[in-house]
A and B are shown apart, each in its own frame.
Chain A
Amino acid sequence: MLVSEMKPDEEILDMLDMAHSIYLVGCNGCAEVCKTGGAKAVAAYRKFLETQDKQVPGICNVDFLCNKVLTGTRLVREIEPIDRSEAILVFSCGVGVQVAGAVVDKPVFPAANTISMGGHFGLWPGAEKCAQCGNCVLGYTGGICPVTGCAKSLVNGQCGGTTRDGDCEVEKGRPCAWLQIYERLKTIDRLDLYRRILAPQDKSKLMPEVKQRKTLYWAIDQDVKPKE
């Protein structure tokens, strides 16, 4: 299953930046198990955000956020509070954040870093969508992942290799993820996020600690006892 951990509060507040009204979307699937999602975790975060001078016009928890159809159908019924929000904070793995970004025209921000997708997968085949990099940057990229989408996994913008058709230099028919990110950020009027310089990915996060891998088949084979 997907293993995620909450981003530090400071990072989340930094991402949300000028946004005052934040709509919260939680996942009741793997993220609930990791306590990065689920009704309880999301409600607790609402309280925290309110202490930070933010408003929360609404909350929606979806059973499996990675199911695009399910999420789309559910969020359509939340259009009114979503419209009143400046940003959407998503409590799920990187796949869920991308689903939310794909179905709503609002800036989406990840509340968690995805560490591992070992074992049972979510419902939207995720390996192509989330690299479990542990340094989720979806909040700066309009909910489109450059780590999986860009052939070079660049985090600071388009290279010089985009073709006239908007494809990646590597393969015809493979869209340039950074061009998609640019178009998306332009649509939601957040090109300021493109201007941010992001730190290089911390590759040490690709090797999660044993205690974080306790749910993986590997760890079950090793008879590692789940403990908090």
Chain B
Amino acid sequence: MSPLRLTGLTKRYAGTAVVDGLDLEIAPGRCHGLLGPNGAGKTTTLRLALGLIEADAGEIALLGHPMPCGAALARRKVGVVPQADSLDPDFSVRENLLTYGRYFGIPKAELERRIPALLEFAGLAGKAEALAPSLSGGMKRRLTLARALINDPRLLILDEPTTGLDPQARHLVWRGLRRLIAQGKTLLLTTHFMEEAERLCDRISIIDHGRIIAEGSPRGLIETHIEPHVVEVFGEGIAGLHNWADRHCDRWEQAGESLFCYTHDHLALTAELDRMGSPRYLHRPASLEDVFLKLTGRDLRD
């Protein structure tokens, strides 16, 4: 059974569809990434999936329960890591876990039994009595992750789990998430870090304007949607290279002072650039970010 299935999901605000006929089915025991620019409808989709808001159309099955009417039942076995810090500032690390566990109706003795392993998992074993506001940003995020695991969920929903963290802290969160995937938990995460999606997710849905515009494995998306090589050419003279690019690249884009050349044959292209001797360039394999930018455009979303 799919832990989450969304069919024709639609949500409108003031006549504008923020989620617009969205279909999504996530596979058990996998990590599914929801990628999209700001305002694409990621967070709204998660809130709909959790039964927090009502859809205008479409169907939602969360762990087999229709939403929102089955919300209380389904959410017993779902863990949520929200985007904003919502730890209890008056409580210690341990009290945060204990209090949150009580919202699931889990007896105190059972919670006391679960907490040491969760602290260990979050790398907070020595911090049990520390007050939440005294923790670093990375520790807070790991505590939020531990808190989401207090009910031993089958599905973990994470809304931008590493936004605002430094690289060290981010890697530590990723390590935790990989352990959970290895334990067989299903993860659904939104992110706009391509690297995060590429490293963690088996399957990725790219969402824009409330719709899934592409779906597949990270590698599959790159293979399907984009040429395998990118040569970025920098410099002031690149505006004069458009004709040249038409001849030598499969596809190209100019963004500011960079020309992005997409090609199957990077050797020929770089040889050509070397022969011209002028511009600086960088060759790299195509990444998920290239797919993302191709599909959602380079315009700023605010």
A and B held together in a complex: no
Chain A residues within 8 Å of B, Cβ to Cβ: none
Q: Report B's interface with A, CB cutoff 8 A.
A: none
